[in-house]
């Protein structure tokens, strides 16, 4: 196998496909220690655009409150994101009192992170536009992928492959969004109605519904959150990736994970054991039965 470290820090081969259920590119490869260190550092650095972006484009941002597309943009602005926010809507010159752009490529400045709230059928062309713009990471909130059946799974695979060709990290699809509560960031890039206080707990939830419940509870009991990621269908960014990111994150003292599956079990356990030597890692995995999934 031709082992490589790609531009996002992923270990893999040049010929294999990207499997969003099992990270085949990392499990069989056990590189030399120095190469593994580089891989880890590159992978962690690639997530900075996701959790500490300087600028965000909301593609599909809507004018009227009430829809997911409108709430994502409203929350980002209302919470007080410390960077630049650009709504993208080809049918509206202004979105919620903020100047909008017809496409992400029309934005005059660099864009670190794009939030995609567009129909599933438009996601691939939107990924292409983001790639041409030089966007470093995307959060695909849109549904209509692997959770819908074989056709959706094929579309999700195409999404992962397309983003990889541009060196972009992907959270989702079919997810709640991402959040960083640090006062210097204040990024509420979700459609959750509440923003938690800042604190030392990092959360990864594969379930959007459980993610909403966790954020509500955090606000209710005053549990401080450093960052939160809803990984949804996990086309790219995994719980193992996030644990590695939070391992040396000075804002994170505890890691909480709610998962429906582990992805690559070997990779997950390797990272979990390493991170748990530095800080507590609590994992809740949903059951396999229909009742357990509920």
Question: Quick one: 244 and 201 in the same domain?
Answer: yes
Q: Which domain holds residue 167?
A: 53-171
Question: Quick one: 164 and 90 in the same domain?
Answer: yes
Question: Quick one: 39 and 98 in the same domain?
Answer: no
Tell me, letter by letter, the H, E, C secondary structure of the chain.
CCEEECCCCCEEECCCCCCCCCCCCCCCCCCCHHHHHHHHHHHHHHCHHHHCCCEEEEECCCCCECEHHHHHHHHHHHHCCCCEEEEECCCCCEECCEECECCHHHCCCCCCEEEECCCHHHHHHHHHHHHHHCCCEEEECCCCCHHHCHHHHHHHHHHHHHHHHCCCEEECCCCCEEEECCCCCCEEEECCCCCCCEEEEEEEECCHHHHHHHHHHHHHHCCCEEEEEECCCCCCCCHHHHHHHHHCCCCCCEEEEEECCCCCHHHHHHHHHHHHCCCCEEEEECCCCHHHHC
Question: Quick one: 122 and 154 in the same domain?
Answer: yes
Total domain count for the chain?
3
What local confidence, expressed as pLDDT, does residue 42 receive?
73
Question: Quick one: 248 and 165 in the same domain?
Answer: no
Q: How many CB atoms lie within 10 A of CB 75?
A: 22
What local confidence, expressed as pLDDT, does residue 79 receive?
96
Q: What residue ranges of the chain have pLDDT lower than 50?
A: 1-39
Question: Quick one: 205 and 280 in the same domain?
Answer: yes
What local confidence, expressed as pLDDT, does residue 23 receive?
34
Domain boundary pick from 15, 32, 48 = 48
Question: Quick one: 127 and 64 in the same domain?
Answer: yes
Question: Quick one: 9 and 84 in the same domain?
Answer: no
Domain boundary pick from 32, 48, 64 = 48
Each residue of 29-68: pLDDT tens digit? 444 444 444 446 677 788 999 999 999 999 999 999 999 9
CATH at 80: 3.40.50.720
What local confidence, expressed as pLDDT, does residue 40 receive?
62
Domain boundary pick from 108, 143, 171 = 171
pTM: 0.85
CA torsion angle 162 230 11 134 (round to 10): 40
Under a CB-based contact definition with an 8 Å cutoff, are residues 2 and 12 in contact?
A: no
Question: Quick one: 7 and 44 in the same domain?
Answer: yes
Question: Quick one: 153 and 68 in the same domain?
Answer: yes
Question: Quick one: 240 and 261 in the same domain?
Answer: yes
Strand 177-180 and strand 187-190: pairing? antiparallel
Calpha distance 45→175 (Å, rounded): 22
CATH at 181: 3.40.50.261
Question: Quick one: 203 and 286 in the same domain?
Answer: yes
What local confidence, expressed as pLDDT, does residue 290 receive?
60
């Amino acid at each position: 196998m031709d082992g490589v470290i790609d531009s996002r820090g992923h270990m893999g081969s040049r010929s294999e496909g990207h499997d969003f259920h099992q990270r085949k590119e990392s499990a069989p490869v056990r590189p030399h220690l120095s190469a593994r260190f580089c891989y880890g550092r590159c992978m962690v650095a690639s997530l900075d655009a996701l959790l500490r972006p300087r600028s965000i484009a909301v593609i599909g941002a809507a004018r009227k409150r009430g829809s997911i597309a409108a709430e994502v943009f409203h929350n980002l602005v209302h919470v007080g994101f410390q960077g630049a926010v650009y709504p993208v809507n080809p049918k509206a010159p202004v979105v919620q009192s903020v100047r909008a752009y017809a496409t992400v490529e029309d934005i005059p400045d660099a864009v670190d992170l794009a939030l995609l709230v567009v129909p599933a059928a438009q996601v691939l062309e939107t990924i292409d536009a983001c790639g041409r713009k030089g966007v470093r990471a995307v959060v695909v909130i849109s549904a209509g992928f692997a959770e819908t059946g074989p056709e959706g799974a094929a579309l999700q695979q195409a999404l992962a492959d397309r983003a990889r060709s541009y060196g972009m990290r992907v959270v989702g699809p079919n997810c709640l969004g991402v959040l960083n509560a640090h006062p210097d960031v204040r990024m509420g890039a979700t459609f959750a109605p509440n923003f938690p206080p800042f604190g030392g707990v990092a959360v990864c939830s594969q379930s959007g519904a459980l993610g909403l419940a966790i954020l509500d509870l955090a606000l209710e009991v005053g549990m401080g959150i450093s960052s939160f990621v809803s990984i949804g269908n996990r086309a790219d960014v995994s719980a193992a990736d996030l644990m590695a990111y939070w391992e040396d994150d000075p804002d994170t003292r505890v890691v909480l994970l709610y998962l429906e599956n582990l992805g690559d079990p070997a990779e997950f356990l390797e990272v979990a054991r390493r991170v748990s030597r530095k800080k507590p890692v609590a994992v809740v995995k949903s059951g396999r039965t229909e009742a357990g999934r509920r």
